[in-house]
Amino acid sequence: MTTSPGSRIRLQDVATLAGVSLSAASRILRGDEEDFGADTCRRVTEAAEKLGWRRNLLVNGMQTGRTRTVGVVIPPYDSFWVAVLAGIHGALAADDYLPITVWLGDLDHMPHFEADEKQGVALMNRLLDRRVDGLILWPPFGLAYYEHARELRDQTVPVVMIDYHCDTLICDTVTTNEVAAAQDIARHLVGLGHRRIAYIGGRETPSQAWAQERRQSLEAAMADHPEITFASWRLNKTGSDAVDVCRRLLNSRLRPTAVVAASDHEAVHVYRAAADAGLTIPDDVSVVGFADLDFAQSMVPPLTTVRQRAGEIGRRAATLLLSRLAGKAPAEFVDARVDGDFMPRQSTGPAKGTG
Amino acid sequence: MTTSPGSRIRLQDVATLAGVSLSAASRILRGDEEDFGADTCRRVTEAAEKLGWRRNLLVNGMQTGRTRTVGVVIPPYDSFWVAVLAGIHGALAADDYLPITVWLGDLDHMPHFEADEKQGVALMNRLLDRRVDGLILWPPFGLAYYEHARELRDQTVPVVMIDYHCDTLICDTVTTNEVAAAQDIARHLVGLGHRRIAYIGGRETPSQAWAQERRQSLEAAMADHPEITFASWRLNKTGSDAVDVCRRLLNSRLRPTAVVAASDHEAVHVYRAAADAGLTIPDDVSVVGFADLDFAQSMVPPLTTVRQRAGEIGRRAATLLLSRLAGKAPAEFVDARVDGDFMPRQSTGPAKGTG
DNA sequence: CTGAAAGCGCTTACAG
DNA sequence: CTGAAAGCGCTTACAG
């Protein structure tokens, strides 16, 4: 029952059993069979099989400096991130790379990453100590951690960030095409006759650049329609005041006939606030989400939203990193944009009084 | 921009900069400071800091045969498994172990694992080639893979299986207390006056032992109530006939007033079939799920179900493995049971005609 | 208090 | 066609 890790079979055991030298066994098992007699090859293969020998990838890692391993700092936070992870895993596995996925904090109470900077740096360093060849990071591991981990700052280890974006790129990034998505949303709502539109977002820390970009894209898209009155609202740091803020928003002087939420998560709060205020969706107020999370379709009414192609985002991130590792990536950092798909459903309708 | 992995700082560089020997630097940086002069220690620490040297855990792995790494073969399939993963990650991280989470197939179309045996074995072997110290597996990686991977069969590498259970234990297991949960369900339904009760499950392959146990536990619990007529139904291999089977079940001669689903996933199908058949939940038929997945509470009506303590299950699995690795686990395989919590909600009500 | 030496499990030129 | 030797980046007795 007790494990004895030292008892593993070594190549030398295989070589001995097959009656060849260590190096012969090594070369044969690595496919270098041409130089050896068919009989020798067979003896070695059979000996390895019989003893249950398996190559030791730690050795390869030490010798080559490459572990064929990628650190992925992304929690399975919601269906979007789970799908991103799946995309990453698939693409890496296809190239025989192994993702090592870790995250900080527990899923129910995602911490404020600013407060956990120390732990964040420690997490990265744990991965770097394992000699991952590269890293894929989610937004909260933005600039701050980047600057703390020497390997990243010095660009010894390539990094791809998802949904993180800033003016001067510090690494490869993969992001949803926010501008196009915002225009889709604006076009849809304006077409339905809405003139008073509000946006409700979470806080926008520097590391949550996507949040800022999403709002700004929508503001820009709305600015193309001078007939629109538009207002952006924002939740507090933790989002604990979400329903309350949504309620105030709906009752605000603007009296929006449509609310665009930063994501489907916030849209849920708008639904609740609308119910509290006795407002019907979409008759009294239209609601648009973002992401098309797994629950969006079964909300009552089904939520109009922008589907993010999460799997594709993950795959792009992984292939980008792999090409970087293979030295095949462009010299400049890549700023990859993945389109979203506007999904009109029943949470949006004609503006009240427009019919 | 281009990465040069060979350019990493080695301990020798640190030693040279500090003006000490390699071994002195090694011992000082590992905390063996007592034998050295305070000044020497400082010079070494500073040199390491200055050069940005980081220990190479691959070396430790090679030297000790332990990598402080655990292979976790669990996809983030639904909120249950995500929470299990979170529990595992938390417990491993607390002990400075690193989980390496991988899975087979894509999340949308989870493959038939029987059909992918080769890939499954390859997946395990990829982990074993990385010299993981142990493995945590989800049910589909049951007996079959177990028998194929020599390290597992020979118990060189300890394994904990979640929700896998069979008569003669082949490894440590962590499972929900199915018997108690089944009794809770039976008591609840009988108390509501139900006399005609059906169970709807997916297929029960050998590797999905939990499915079999769940059904059998319910059958046993029902047998304690002789006034109950009980029938078990089952979906086809892929579950593609789910709604259809549920429809037939509801219209069957039994005319069940209550349906117990193998999990919340199947309960969704029962809801749909009930709607198709013009039956109201719970007035015409009561429905009970299992797991308390993230969507259960917001189903219409909210689903009565058994909450599985996923986080606890994950933590137990991880700590069990860690104690096994530390040689502190009991000699026999552990069969850990985690209680579920019965969650009565609005999908169950008095049996029709009972009032 | 410090350094030369062996070894972890291999791979890869290189000499026979 | 095959084997002795050096080396990957360290750690750890052991000798000074």
* pLDDT tens track for A119-135: 888 999 999 999 999 99
**Each residue of A288-319: pLDDT tens digit?**
999 999 999 999 999 999 999 999 999 999 99
Q: Is the pLDDT of residue A208 over 90?
A: no
Least confident of A103-112, A332-341, B131-140, B298-307: A103-112
B326 in contact with A, Cβ within 8 Å? no
Average pLDDT over residues A250-268: 96
Give the pLDDT band (50/70/90) at residue A251: very high
B31 in contact with A, Cβ within 8 Å? no
CA B36 / C1′ C2 distance in Å:
9
Q: How far apart are CA B120 and CA B203, in angstroms?
A: 20
> Do B155 and A126 make contact, defined as CB atoms within 8 angstroms?
no
Between residues B154 and A62, the one the model is more confident about:
A62
Q: What are phi and psi of A310, to 5 degrees?
A: -60, -45
Low-confidence residues in chain B, pLDDT < 50 = 1-6, 355
| CB contact set of B150 (below 8 Å; sequence gap of 6+) | A52, B156
Q: Is the pLDDT of residue A336 over 80?
A: yes
Nearest to A331 among B1, B56, B89 (CB): B1
pLDDT at A184: 98
Give the pLDDT band (50/70/90) at residue A38: confident
> Do A126 and B98 make contact, defined as CB atoms within 8 angstroms?
yes
Token pair belonging to A61: 């890692």
Nearest to B62 among A58, A69, A311 (CB): A58
Least confident of A22-26, A31-35, A52-56, B264-268: A31-35
pLDDT at A153: 81
| CB contact set of B38 (below 8 Å; sequence gap of 6+) | none
In our burial notation (b when 16+ CB lie closer than 10 A, e otherwise), range B41-72 reads bebbbebbeebebbebbbeebbeebbbbbbbb
A93 touches strand C (CB under 7 A): no
Average pLDDT over residues A176-196: 97
Give the pLDDT band (50/70/90) at residue A6: very low
Which among A57, A62, A73, A292 is the top mutation candidate for probing chain B, defined by the most B β-carbons within 10 Å of its own β-carbon? A57
Q: How far apart are CA B84 and CA B88, in angstroms?
A: 6
Q: Return the bridge partners of A100, or none.
A: A71
- Report the percentage of chain A scoring pLDDT > 90: 71
pLDDT at B36: 85
Q: How far apart are CA B325 and CA B158, in angstroms?
A: 7
pLDDT at B354: 55
CA A29 / C1′ D6 distance in Å:
21
The reported pTM is 0.94
Interface of B with A in 128-157 (CB under 8 A): 128-131, 133, 150-151, 154-157
Segment (H or E) for B59: helix B57-64
